[in-house]
């Protein structure tokens, strides 16, 4: 497991969209693969469950947003710290036309699995030309 591939990457916060909460934002690592009739996306979002995740698809921009409450333990001191808790945010532009009604999302063990079925191709319509 190469180290650079495993660590969370912190997102640079663009000036146009600042967040009201001073909380860190991370870019989740994803795997995306395309099958014959769907696009499947897997995202590592530890600390996120089905209630704290928002997925939106506007036009062809897919946005993932996961909220994580930072962990604190009363009466404990941080003896050793390697990771920070924060929200997850990432957006993708989809090239294929997606069937919005059949999008399926599930979260298990902190991994989001999103299945985006491709829409049926628009049927060709033949136009008959009548002779005048």
Partner 1 sequence: MVWPESGRYGRVWSPWREMERLQQDMNRLLSRESTPHSTTFPAVNIWASDQDVIVTAEVPGVDVDSLDITVAENILKLTGARKPEELKPAEVSHRQERASGEFTRTFRLPYAVDSGKVDASCDKGILKVRLPRAEADKPKKIAIKSQK
* Cα gap 33→18, rounded to integer Å: 31
φ and ψ at residue 87, rounded to 5 degrees: -80, 165
Q: Which of residues 67-126 bind partner 1 (CB under 8 A)?
A: 71, 73, 75-83, 107, 109-111
Task: Report in angstroms how near the CB of residue 102 gets to partner 1 at its nearest.
Answer: 18
Task: Report in angstroms how near the CB of residue 42 gets to partner 1 at its nearest.
Answer: 6
Contact 100, 57 (CB under 8 A): yes
Question: Measured from the CB atom, is 51 or 125 closer to partner 1?
Answer: 51
Residue 85, Cβ density class (10 Å: 0-12 exposed, 13-18 middle, ≥19 buried): middle
Summarize as ranges the residues that interact with partner 1 (CB under 8 A).
Answer: 1-8, 29-36, 39, 42, 44-49, 71, 73, 75-83, 107, 109-111
């Amino acid at each position: 497991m190469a180290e650079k591939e495993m660590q969370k990457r912190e997102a640079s916060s663009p000036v146009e969209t600042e967040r009201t909460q001073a909380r860190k934002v991370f870019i989740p690592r994803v795997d995306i693969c395309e099958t014959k009739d769907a696009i499947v996306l897997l995202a590592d979002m530890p600390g996120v469950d089905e209630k704290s995740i928002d997925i939106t698809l506007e036009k062809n921009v897919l946005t993932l947003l996961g909220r994580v409450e930072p962990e604190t333990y009363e009466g404990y001191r941080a003896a050793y710290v390697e990771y920070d808790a924060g929200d997850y945010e990432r957006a993708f532009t989809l090239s294929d036309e997606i069937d919005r009604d059949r999008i399926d999302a599930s979260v298990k063990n902190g991994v989001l699995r999103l299945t985006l079925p491709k829409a049926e191709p628009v049927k060709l319509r033949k136009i008959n030309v009548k002779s005048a």
